[in-house]
Amino acid sequence: MDNTNQILPDDPLLKSDIYEIGKQLRAGSLTCVELTSTYYKRINILNPYLHAYIYLNETKAISWAEGIDKLFNNGVELGPLMGIPIAIKDICSVNGMPTTNGSEIISDDITGPEGTLVKRLKSLGCVILGKTHTVEFALGATGLNKYKGTPRNPWDENIHRIPGGSSSGSAVAVASGLAAFAIGTDTGGSVRIPASLNGIVGLKTTKNRWATDGIFPLSPTLDTPGPIARNVKDTKLIFNTYNNKIDKTSKSIEIKNMSFGKLKEPFTTNLDPQVMEAYENICSELEKLGAKIEEIIIPEANEKAILFPRIVGSEIINAFGIDRFTKNVDRMDPVTGNRAKLGLNVSSFEYISAKQRVSELEAMVNQHFMKYDALLSPTTVMQALDVNKAEIGEELHERSLLSSANTQPVNIFGICAITYPIQKFVKNQNQDILPVGLQIICNKNEDEKAVEIALSLEKHFGEPELPNMNKFL
């Protein structure tokens, strides 16, 4: 990529956060048009290489920003996210923008019209920059997309590494400073995996905390949208603002008063050495801060291997309709198509039994949260792999399929989780360290608690380090 004659504007959030940017917008020291234009300048330089966005909305977004500035000038207040430029995953409908669902197959009618989530963000005054790349139909954890392209993980300018999926473009956009935050969706880890592999923060919300209408229905049983952001502070602001919950009197959680269940097998099976080291070291540091940590094993997590394909395979086929699915499945990306085809062999009895088992597991896992404030695990078992080695038939393809090994159980347990970057806990920093994520898991509808625990870690250990994008010029 030859950008030697182009000057990359500073990332607006490089030394700031969303709340501080909002203060500048309200004070008039920064306009929404200026802010939005800065993001587009960065996008126009970096996106041809990073491939984070599949569709850009520059003319309309600048027009929208002009309208936001007029509202500011007239004293209209829409909340803390007013005037903030964001990105939306391309399985979510946005009026005036195409929805491809990461596929060559026409399927926007299945996704339906713009839904509650996007409408809510617009009502809060967010400026939508465009749509971000996704794994086809959001069914994949590596981020690879044979037909629409695979975004580039910004932590390595020399090797094209997997961005994680399925919210691949959303995570790359945020980590690269091409959006203040982005929306992803998480059916088996699709917010947490790319956030982890790109060194940022991703929140998997509890089912039904955020509406899913206007989003491709990969699995109505498991689908959960959520924010991908630069740090936990921003994540809290986004989540609370969306939920109309701005409580300035809330007290922060003290790590010394926390009790954590440190998950072992299967969450520690097949870990990269640096992932294991970071996990062990962060847990040791939490103990030094006074937290109580006990190792636990939840063997039911292994049931993901049966439950996930039965539920998701059946429900994606139902979304298409059997005739339409069988007509188009061989046109899908081979990985997506093969995973979706598993639903063809699922009987109605097996599907209903799987759904019933998910309800049973939700009740079972609730018992652990009577003893522990949260459960901890590595978010992904590996760091970002070389894309060329993760392709079908290549040496790391089977390993790449383990990307969702530690995240899928959270979905089938019906609970919530947040990922926080911990690669700084790898002791040998003489070599380039790729991101590693810590998964903080809380009980159903304890999303705020998960965010507060992660925020407490962020206050102790610092905000995530971000990749140097000037190396791509």
Q: Please count the residues of the chain.
A: 473
Active-site residue identified among 166, 168, 314, 404: 166
Q: Report the distance separating Cα 182 and Cα 179, nearest Å.
A: 7
What are the b/e assignments for 437-465, b being 16+ CB within 10 Å?
bbbbbbbbebbbbbbbbbbbbbeebebbe
Active-site residue identified among 89, 204, 236, 304: 89
Which among 134, 438, 144 is positioned nearest to 271, based on CA atoms? 438
Q: Is 284 a catalytic residue?
A: no
Q: Starting at the earlier edge strand, list the strands of the sheet with 181-186.
A: 53-56, 127-132, 85-89, 181-186, 224-229, 201-204, 416-421, 437-442, 374-378, 259-263, 292-296
Which among 463, 440, 442 is positioned nearest to 283, based on CA atoms? 440
Q: Is 190 a catalytic residue?
A: yes
Active-site residue identified among 93, 103, 167, 190: 190
Per-residue tokens: 279: 């996990």
Q: Report the distance separating Cα 420 and Cα 374, nearest Å.
A: 14
Q: Name the helix (H) or strand (E) containing 88.
A: strand 85-89
Q: Is 166 a catalytic residue?
A: yes
Q: Is 132 exposed, middle or buried (0-12, 13-18, 19+ CB in 10 A)?
A: buried
Q: Is 2 exposed, middle or buried (0-12, 13-18, 19+ CB in 10 A)?
A: exposed
- The pair phi, psi for residue 227, each rounded to 5°, is -85, 145
Which among 406, 416, 413, 412 is positioned nearest to 442, based on CA atoms? 416
| Alpha carbon distances (Å) from 100 to 97, 204, 223, 334 | 10, 23, 18, 17
**Catalytic residue annotation:** 89, 166, 190
